[in-house]
Amino acid sequence: MPSLFDRFEIGDLSLSNRMVMAPLTRSRAVANNTPTALMATYYAQRASAGLIITEATQVCPEGQGYIATPGIHSAEQVAGWKQVNQAVHAAGGKTCLQLWHVGRISHTFFQPNGAAPVAPSAIRANMQAYTDKGMEDCSEPRALETSEVQALVQTYGKAAQNAKDAGFDMVEIHAANGYLVDQFLRDQTNRRKDTYGGSIENRARFLMEIVEAVLKVYPAHRVGCRISPASKFNDIDDSNPQALYSYVAEQLGRHGLGYLHAIEGQTGGARDADPRVDFAALRKAFKQAGGRATMVNNGYTREMAESAVGSGEADLVAFGVPFLANPDLVARFKNGHPLNAPDPATFYGGAEKGYTDYPVFG
């Protein structure tokens, strides 16, 4: 039986164990959304994870929806991420950049020249954004023109090249949590009449074109994709999620991607099963079509993770808050040591406190 602490190979990428640090927004980038030396320290402290998926990183200025989140679209940002990767690699770790565009989950405050956020359709999200004035309702988006969607595909490709130049071992396409790619996938937010709307195949077209653009930069086994089929986070839903995500999983598998990363249940919330979504069937569809590894996520304990890996239910398990509060989470799990308690007041923004000052055991 495989163990959570066994090495795992994704093509020529060798992971020291099957524990993955999930992407966690920490809002500590500085001017021009640039990664910092403090971020390099934070990630290097957690380099014992088999793989670190760094925080969601916007592929272009229009992709921002939160204060102090890093980008991957300028030379300055690439240089900042390079120092992060150098620190993690020096500590023996592997890194994966999550490519992100928030779409309608934004506010004119974040948009160049105060423009409206963009989305597949002009449907305002019943959510709030944190701006310089505090919490404000998300702005009403405008629908992207077909030519703009095609241009955004190339933007993702350029972001992947920037990630490669910065030294990332892999990239993950963020197609979850109600952000732009997810907005295209789901029929509640996609009412388009062109080739990017209507049928499941059309709604998935944007994602698949992004995959193809990224595969011109990275080999398939070094590209992952994150989905959240049951989550309604960021005011999103679909009328038939099983049919939608079965198609998505199969198509991602046909591209031979390195992993399918699925959030089970509600993002950052309950794991309650959605009777409309069969996650085991999605993982099976991905692998049968040619995908390499499956990654599970959402509230996994050590015992749950060991069971998932040992039974073959999943190849990798992603942990979020436990890695945030325990830089040595792998050793703590392996040795049965107690965990540090996380401090939610310091999750977003700030400096060292609640970021790089969590102690290792003993």
Which residues, listed in sequence order, are joined to residue 297 by a DSSP beta bridge? 263, 318
* pLDDT recorded at residue 273: 65
Instruction: Please state, for a pLDDT cut of 70, what percent of the chain lies above it.
Output: 100
Q: Please, is 183 exposed, middle or buried when counting C-beta atoms within 10 Å of its C-beta (0-12, 13-18, 19+)? A: buried
Cα-Cα-Cα-Cα dihedral of 308, 311, 313, 316, to 10°? Answer: 50
Residue 33 has pLDDT above 90, yes or no: yes
Average pLDDT over residues 120-141: 94
Residue 268 has pLDDT above 80, yes or no: no
Mean pLDDT score of the chain? 97
Which fold is adopted by the domain 8-346?
TIM Barrel (3.20.20)
**43 is known as an active-site residue:** no
Please check the confidence at residue 22 and state whether its pLDDT lies above 90.
yes
Instruction: Please give the pLDDT value at position 337.
Output: 98
For the chain, state the CA radius of gyration: 19
CA–CA dist 281, 170 (Å, integer) = 25
Q: What pLDDT shows up at residue 128?
A: 94
Residue with tokens 């077909």: 146
Query: What count of residues does the chain have?
Result: 362
Kindly report, residue by residue over 59-103, the tens digit of the pLDDT: 999 999 999 999 999 999 999 999 999 999 999 999 999 999 999
pLDDT tens digits for 175-228? 999 999 999 999 999 999 999 999 999 999 999 999 999 999 999 999 999 999
Q: Phi/psi at 331 (nearest 5 deg)?
A: -65, -40
The maximal CA–CA distance of the chain, rounded, in angstroms, is 60
| 242 vs 282: CA distance, rounded Å | 8
User: Can you tell me the distance from the alpha carbon of 308 to that of 64, in angstroms, rounded to the nearest whole number?
Assistant: 35
Nearest to 105 by CA among 49, 51, 168, 56: 56
Locate all alpha helices (DSSP H) within the chain, ordered by sequence.
Answer: 37-45, 75-90, 146-165, 180-185, 200-203, 205-214, 241-254, 279-288, 302-310, 321-325, 329-335
Q: Which residues of 259-292 are buried (b: 16+ CB within 10 A; e: fewer)?
A: bbbbbbbbbeeeeeebeebbbeebbbbbbebebb
pLDDT band of 51, cuts 50, 70, 90: very high
Domain boundaries, the chain: 8-346
147 SS3 class: helix
- Tell me if 57 sits within 8 A of 27, measured CB to CB: no
Q: CA-CA distance, 141 to 124, in Å (whole number)?
A: 6
Q: Which tokens sit at 37?
A: 């030396």
Residue 329: predicted pLDDT: 98
Alpha-carbon torsion (96, 27, 213, 78), positive or negative: negative
Please give the sequence-ordered ranges of beta strands (E in DSSP) within 94-165, or none if there are none: 95-100, 118-119, 128-131, 134-137, 142-143
Quick one: tokens of 254? 């046909």
Mean pLDDT value across residues 159-180: 98
Give residue 104's pLDDT band: very low, low, confident or very high (50, 70, 90): very high
Alpha helices, H only, 215-301: 241-254, 279-288
pLDDT for the residue numbered 267:
80
Q: Out of 156, 179, 196, 218, pick the active-site residue.
A: 179
Query: Mean pLDDT, to the nearest integer, of 266-284?
Result: 85
Segment 234-262, tens digit of pLDDT: 999 999 999 999 999 999 999 999 999 99
Q: Under a CB-based contact definition with an 8 Å cutoff, are residues 119 and 103 in contact?
A: yes
Contact 138, 116 (CB under 8 A): no
